[in-house]
Homo-oligomer: A and B are copies of this chain.
C-alpha cells in the first residue's frame, strides 16, 4: 500500500497540454483522461458497483460532507474504510466537504479557523476546519483525499477572491500538516477565480507544498464557459508534469474536451445521474429528453451503436414509459447510459491522443453534438 503515482504515456504532438497517462493506485490502475461518477453518500444513485464497472468506471467519488453527517466517518472506518463499506474494490476519491459547505449548508460564517454552518439535514450547527476535513478523510480511507478549500462564488470582487485564495493556501498547509494516512494521497486545490495572476499565485504556492496531485477549484459556479476555460489554462501551466490534474464538478461532454485540451486528466460530475432522473440523456447528436412524445412508439435504443446495458436491452419507448410513470428504473437506465457516454468519451479521447488525432476527434465530436435538434 502506498501513494498514487502518475505515469505519462504520451502527449499530443502539437499540444503538449494534452496528456494520456496512467494513475497507479492501491485499488488498481486506470488511464487518464477519465470521467469519475459521483457516489455522494458511498452510493452512486440507483447503481451498484458491478453496474459502474460495466460502464467502464474506474474511480468513484464520495462526498466527505455527506458521509461526515451520515453515517459518520467512524462507522465507515469501523466497516474497514470506504471501499469495504460500499463493497467497491476500485479506486475511490473523497472531496474535502468545502463545496458542499459553501453550496448546500447556508447560512455560513467563514473565519480563518474554518466555516460555521448549519446541517442541510437537521439544521444543527456544525464547524468544519481544514484539520477536521483531513481527519474525516483519513478515516474514510479513500485513495485520494482533497485539501479543504473555499469554493468562492462567481461573480466576486478581486479583493474577495484574493483573500479567499490566500486563506485556501493557509488551509491547504494546515490540512497537510495533520494528514496522517500512509495509504492515502492528498491533492492541493488551485483557486483564484477568473484572475490570471491569482490563479498563477495559487498554483505556484500550492505546488510548493508538494501534493500528490492538483485540483482546479472554483469552476462551474455560474461563470461563462470562456472564463471557465481560461481559469483552467491559467492554472495548469504552473502545475508539475508528473502529477495528475483534476477538474472538480465538470461533466458536460464538450467541457471535457475543452479541458483535456487545457491539460486536465480527471473529471467528476453529478450531471449524468441528475439529468437522468429528469429523463435527459446524452447522445452523440446532443442531449435529448426521453419524455418527448416522439419517442412514445420508438422501439429503437437511445443510441443504436452504444454498448451500454440500457441500449443493448431496452427501447426508447420502454425507458420513456418508465420515466413518465415516475419509475426509479427509468432514471436508473438513463444513469447507466449517461455515465457510459461520458466514460466512453474519455476512452475515445485517450485513443485519439494515442493516435495523435485529438484535434480531429474534438472537432468531429463537437460538430456532431451541436447538430442536436
Contact = CB atoms under 8 A, between A and B. Distances in A.
Given A70-B321, A71-B296, A46 B87 contact: no
A9 interface: no
Interface in A245-304: 296-297, 299
A79 B315 contact: yes
A294 to B, nearest CB: 13
A334 to B, nearest CB: 13
Given A43-B329, A45-B327, A328-B46, A78 B299 contact: yes
Contacts of A321: 41-42, 70-71, 75
Taken together, the copies of this chain in the complex come to 2
Interface in A19-46: 41-43, 45-46
Interface core residue of A43, A296, A313 (most chain B CB under 10 Å): A43
A321 B68 CA distance: 12
A29 B283 CA distance: 40
Interface residues of A, number: 34
Nearest to A70: B325
Given A79-B318, A85-B318, A45 B328 contact: yes
Contacts of A322: 41, 43
Interface of A: 41-43, 45-49, 70-71, 75, 78-80, 85-87, 296-297, 299, 313-315, 317-318, 320-322, 324-325, 327-329, 332
